[in-house]
């Protein structure tokens, strides 16, 4: 994870009139070729031209990426207020900025204790949730990607879903919701601590080296706990997001109400997102399940004891409402 000199960025993320002026590169036959100098503006015509040529990504030097992240993180609040940027584009910029933040943290786990950054991002995610339609949120969440690294987009999507769940199901104040956001963004943080070889696989979470992967819950928990800055509810999410209601999960095998309720909700968001997300394996795309199929499978699993059935029913209801809002928008 520490070798990447070039950072790929989706052209969806390069918003003319907002994105900082940096040199952009294209990858041509394995080489990086300059696409534009820092002085030349990236325009809507650039975007259309790239789209016509099926170019989804451009590249930035890792050093520039730090500047971009700083700029975007500091200006997101103002960007969300702008009238000349559509809700979908705002969502894309916001969620992709959170992904970029997570890439930083996974590369340098000690950054996880810099509270200001993640609290700011989570509050902006909540703000966007209140001020956008389900359609805008879903469409922008779909485009966020950690590129080959499934886990980053996944973490942001789980966080967005979990915030929505907690808002709807539990009477929670802003501090409580912020903790849900933190726990969700970092729920797979332990993956950064197990060997690079495992994490670098695009299919890291689907069964290969599963035994090793299972350690990410406890390892993430121990790492974050010893920093001494995270609340119990954050740590509960990180530690218990692979428990199962019947006690068949890991790392502790906790059962029923012994699994903190916030973690029980996270489990549902985590599984739903994993099932519905497209994965890439050896450059071959494997489509995620449809919303209906994922819920059907989860309903069967809930009946077999994997999840709290009452909570699952509420989850299903919320998901169906969102999908309905999406389809009728």
For Fe ion, the binding residues (CB under 5 A) are 188, 270
- Contact in structure between 177 and 214 (CB atoms under 8 Å): no
> In terms of CB distance, is 42 or 152 closer to Fe ion?
152
In whole angstroms, how close is the CB of 218 to Fe ion at the nearest point?
Answer: 11
> In terms of CB distance, is 73 or 188 closer to Fe ion?
188
Task: Return the DSSP state at 279.
Answer: E
Angle at which helices 134-143 and 87-107 cross, to 10°: 40
> In terms of CB distance, is 35 or 272 closer to Fe ion?
272
> In terms of CB distance, is 139 or 188 closer to Fe ion?
188
As a whole number of angstroms, the distance between CA 135 and CA 193 comes to 35
CA 34 to chain CA centroid, Å, is: 29
As a whole number of angstroms, the distance between CA 29 and CA 84 comes to 37
> In terms of CB distance, is 215 or 325 closer to Fe ion?
215
In whole angstroms, how close is the CB of 188 to Fe ion at the nearest point?
Answer: 4
In whole angstroms, how close is the CB of 150 to Fe ion at the nearest point?
Answer: 9
What ranges in the chain are assigned the alpha helix state H? 44-52, 62-81, 87-107, 115-131, 134-143, 150-169, 174-185, 196-199, 210-213, 215-227, 232-240, 261-276, 291-303, 309-327
In whole angstroms, how close is the CB of 141 to Fe ion at the nearest point?
Answer: 15
> In terms of CB distance, is 236 or 270 closer to Fe ion?
270
- How buried is residue 292: exposed, middle or buried, by Cβ count under 10 Å (0-12/13-18/19+)? exposed
CA-based nearest residue to 298, from 276, 322, 281: 276
In whole angstroms, how close is the CB of 215 to Fe ion at the nearest point?
Answer: 11
* b/e map 309-321, b = 16+ CB within 10 Å: eebbebbbebbee
> In terms of CB distance, is 88 or 267 closer to Fe ion?
267
What ranges in 114-214 are assigned the alpha helix state H? 115-131, 134-143, 150-169, 174-185, 196-199, 210-213
CA-based nearest residue to 59, from 29, 91, 22: 22
In whole angstroms, how close is the CB of 71 to Fe ion at the nearest point?
Answer: 29
> Which residues are CB-contacts of 31 (< 8 A; sequence separation ≥ 6)?
none
> In terms of CB distance, is 92 or 154 closer to Fe ion?
154
- The dihedral over CA atoms of 27, 143, 224, 308, expressed in degrees to the nearest 10, equals -150
For 253, half-sphere exposure in the C-beta direction (CA atoms, 13 angstrom radius) is: 1
In whole angstroms, how close is the CB of 268 to Fe ion at the nearest point?
Answer: 12
> In terms of CB distance, is 88 or 109 closer to Fe ion?
109
In whole angstroms, how close is the CB of 288 to Fe ion at the nearest point?
Answer: 14
> Which residues are CB-contacts of 51 (< 8 A; sequence separation ≥ 6)?
11
In whole angstroms, how close is the CB of 241 to Fe ion at the nearest point?
Answer: 6
């Amino acid at each position: 994870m520490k070798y990447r000199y070039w950072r790929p960025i989706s052209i969806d993320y390069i918003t003319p009139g907002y994105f900082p002026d940096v040199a952009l590169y294209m990858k041509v036959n394995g080489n990086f070729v300059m696409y534009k100098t820092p002085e030349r503006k990236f325009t809507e015509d650039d975007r259309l031209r790239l789209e016509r040529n099926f170019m989804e990504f451009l590249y930035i030097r890792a050093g520039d990426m730090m500047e971009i992240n700083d700029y975007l993180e500091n200006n997101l609040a103002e960007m969300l207020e702008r009238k000349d940027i559509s809700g979908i584009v705002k969502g894309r910029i916001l969620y992709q900025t959170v992904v970029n933040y997570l890439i930083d943290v996974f590369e340098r786990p000690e950054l996880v204790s810099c509270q200001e950054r993640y609290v700011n991002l989570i509050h902006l995610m909540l703000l966007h949730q209140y001020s956008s339609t389900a359609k805008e949120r879903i469409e922008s969440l779909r485009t966020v990607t950690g590129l080959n690294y499934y886990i980053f987009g996944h973490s942001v999507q789980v966080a967005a879903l979990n915030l929505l769940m907690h808002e709807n199901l539990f009477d929670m104040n802003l501090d409580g919701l912020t903790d849900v956001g933190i726990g969700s963004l970092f729920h797979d943080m332990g993956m950064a601590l197990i060997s690079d070889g495992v994490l670098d696989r695009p299919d890291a979470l689907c069964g290969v080296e599963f035994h090793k992967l299972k350690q990410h819950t406890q390892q993430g928990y121990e790492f974050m706990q010893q920093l001494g800055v995270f609340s119990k509810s954050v740590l509960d999410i990180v530690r218990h997001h692979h428990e199962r209601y019947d006690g068949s999960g890991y790392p502790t095998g906790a059962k029923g109400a012994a699994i903190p309720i916030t973690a029980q909700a996270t489990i549902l968001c985590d599984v739903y997102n994993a099932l519905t997300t497209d994965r890439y394996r050896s450059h071959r795309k494997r489509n995620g399940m449809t919303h209906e199929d994922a819920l059907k499978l989860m309903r069967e699993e809930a009946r077999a004891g994997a999840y709290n059935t009452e909570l699952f029913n509420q989850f299903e209801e919320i998901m169906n409402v969102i999908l309905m809002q999406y389809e009728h928008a």
